[in-house]
Amino acid sequence: MTLLSATGLNASLGSRHVLHDISLSLSSGHLVALVGPNGAGKTTLLRALAGLIPSSGDIRIGGDALPSLSLRERARRFAYLPQGHVVHWPLPARDIVALGRYPHGATDPARLSSGDVEAVLRAMQAVDVTDFSDRRVTELSGGERSRVALARVLAVEAPVILADEPTASLDPRHQIDVMQRLRGVADTGVLVVVVTHDLGLAARFADHVLVLSEGHLASQGAPVEALSEAVMAEVFRISAYRAEYRDEAVIVPWADV
């Protein structure tokens, strides 16, 4: 069943038209990889779908038109993880995760309801960060901070998660760890949309791939179909090595064309 859809979606940044007539239909329980070259409009599309920037066209979440929802209701429907995991305040990791309860009325991490406390604990357990819940987030490693940021998103308990390059700047082990955890969240019935430049991770973990090129939706579908040889050559200007390992697709960018 379709959870999030867009029809004729257009968006501009200043005087530059970034997204051109995007239409898509995404279902709950899926992990969707949003890929494309630098400047293709991936972050803009993610932000437009959540109503974080102005756009034209029709966006619907759970059958409701996005403009009909209050800002608080949008914040309950969409959990957004921006790039970078930058935190400027030396707060305990638990308090950072508790910020995910803000759309539900929890404005003070020190005064959470029992339901909010349980949601925060579930989120921290899901990404294995309970051991350093009292440590200042500014003292954590990059991989630990990325998991705390992901826990904050999970604490929202939204039906849609939009994650913008959650594996950027992480070593391979932590990249795989983050994608496995997002895959696990999708398997619980949440729609997870992940922006990534790693086509190998997209092929391995995603049910569905959206390929953006210069603001247009160039291809979409199952990973092997969406990332066909023709799409690789036309959109990414590369060829790729293709194989299968442990019943999972392997796509490795190999050479320019």
Q: 192-223: per-residue pLDDT in tens?
A: 999 999 999 999 999 999 999 999 999 999 99
Same domain, 168 and 231: no
Q: What does pTM read for this prediction? A: 0.94
Does 34 map to a domain? no
User: What pLDDT score does 28 carry?
Assistant: 97
Mean per-residue pLDDT of the chain: 93
Nearest to 162 by CA among 144, 148, 150, 176: 150
Does 180 map to a domain? yes
User: What pLDDT score does 142 carry?
Assistant: 81
Same domain, 47 and 82: no
Whether 83 shows a pLDDT value over 90: the answer reads no
Same domain, 18 and 56: yes
Same domain, 175 and 76: yes
DSSP-assigned beta bridge partners for residue 216: 213
Same domain, 57 and 77: no
Whether 248 shows a pLDDT value over 90: the answer reads no
Same domain, 246 and 143: no
Does 246 map to a domain? yes
Same domain, 175 and 251: no
| 131: its two tokens | 């051991």
Unique residue bearing structure tokens 């959109």: 235
- Residues of the chain with pLDDT > 70, as a percent, come to 99
Same domain, 181 and 225: no
Unique residue bearing structure tokens 């992990």: 31
Q: What is the mean pLDDT of residues 179-192?
A: 95
Same domain, 103 and 54: no
Neighbours of 91 (CB within 10 A): 16
Phi-psi group of 188: left, alpha or beta (phi > 0 → left; psi -120 to 50 → alpha; rest → beta): alpha
Same domain, 180 and 247: no
Same domain, 140 and 62: no
> What is the number of structural domains in the chain?
3
Does 210 map to a domain? no
Name the residue range of residue 7's domain. Answer: 1-27+41-69
pLDDT in tens, 109-164: 888 999 999 999 999 999 899 999 999 999 998 888 888 999 999 999 999 999 99
The CATH number of the domain holding residue 1 is 3.40.50.300
The full 3-state SS of the chain, as one line of letters, equals CEEEEEEEEEEEECCEEEEEEEEEEEECCCEEEEECCCCCCHHHHHHHHCCCCCCEEEEEECCEEHHHCCHHHHHHHEEEECCCCCCCCCCEHHHHHHHHHHHHCCCCCCCCCHHHHHHHHHHHHHCCCHHHCCCEHHHCCHHHHHHHHHHHHHHCCCCEEEEECCCCCCCHHHHHHHHHHHHHHHHCCCEEEEECCCHHHHHHHCCEEEEEECCEEEEEECHHHHCCHHHHHHHHCEEEEEEEECCEEEEEEEEEC
Cα dihedral: 36, 60, 6, 37 (round 10): -10
| 8: its two tokens | 């004729």
User: What pLDDT score does 85 carry?
Assistant: 67
pLDDT in tens, 155-173: 999 999 999 999 887 889 8
Same domain, 155 and 180: yes
Does 35 map to a domain? no
Does 33 map to a domain? no
What is the C-alpha to C-alpha distance for residues 147 and 124, in angstroms, rounded to an integer? 9
